[in-house]
Amino acid sequence: MTKHIFILGIAFIGMSLASCKSSSKKNGTDKKEVKLTTVEFLETNHDFGQITQGEKVSHVFKVKNTGENPLEITQVQPSCGCTIPEWTEDPIDPGKEGTIQVMFNSEGRDGKQHKTVTVVTNTKPSINQLTFTAEVVKKAK
């Protein structure tokens, strides 16, 4: 009798483990394979020069997919709330270009400004930095 209970216990544990494994696939918890590519930023730094306090300026950084798989820009994170990014959200085919536009609001800023924008892509390394500078001068009274 003890032998039968032992065998049933082993069978129950085995079925429990198998059902856990199959349910994780049903829930979509398996990681999607990320196909890496390579990227070239045609420029990684921009200088706005001298701007007047309160002025809003923008610049477009061009990004080129130099690899064999589609380039995906998954996140663009500015270092400051004064910067708003917009970027090509659709995958960029090999050999094609996309853009990352940064808009800087100099309201409340004064003097030399140095800001960064972190770009996350399906490349290795996955994190790239774009920077811009500006000299913010107060409005003439």
**Residue 16's pLDDT is what?**
47
More confident residue, 10 or 109: 109
Q: Where are the domains of the chain?
A: 1-30, 39-137
pLDDT the model gives residue 137: 97
Name residues whose C-beta falls within 8 Å of residue 108's C-beta, 6 or more positions apart in sequence. 53, 82
pLDDT of residue 71 exceeding 80, the answer is yes
* Cβ pair 117, 131 in contact under 8 A: yes
Closest CA to 87 of 132, 108, 112, 118: 118
Cβ distance 1 to 88 under 8 Å?
no
Residues near 137 by beta carbon (within 8 Å), at least 6 away in sequence: 50, 51, 52, 53, 110
pLDDT for 21: 39
CATH architecture of 39-137: Sandwich (2.60)
pLDDT on residue 5: 52
Confidence of residue 131 (pLDDT cuts 50, 70, 90): very high
Q: Find out whether 73 and 119 touch, Cβ atoms under 8 Å.
A: yes
- Give the residue carrying structure tokens 């001068």: 137
Could you tell me the sign of the dihedral formed by the alpha carbons of 96, 82, 128, 91, in that order?
negative
Render pLDDT for 6-35 as a digit per residue (tens, 0 to 9): 454 454 454 444 444 333 344 445 566 889
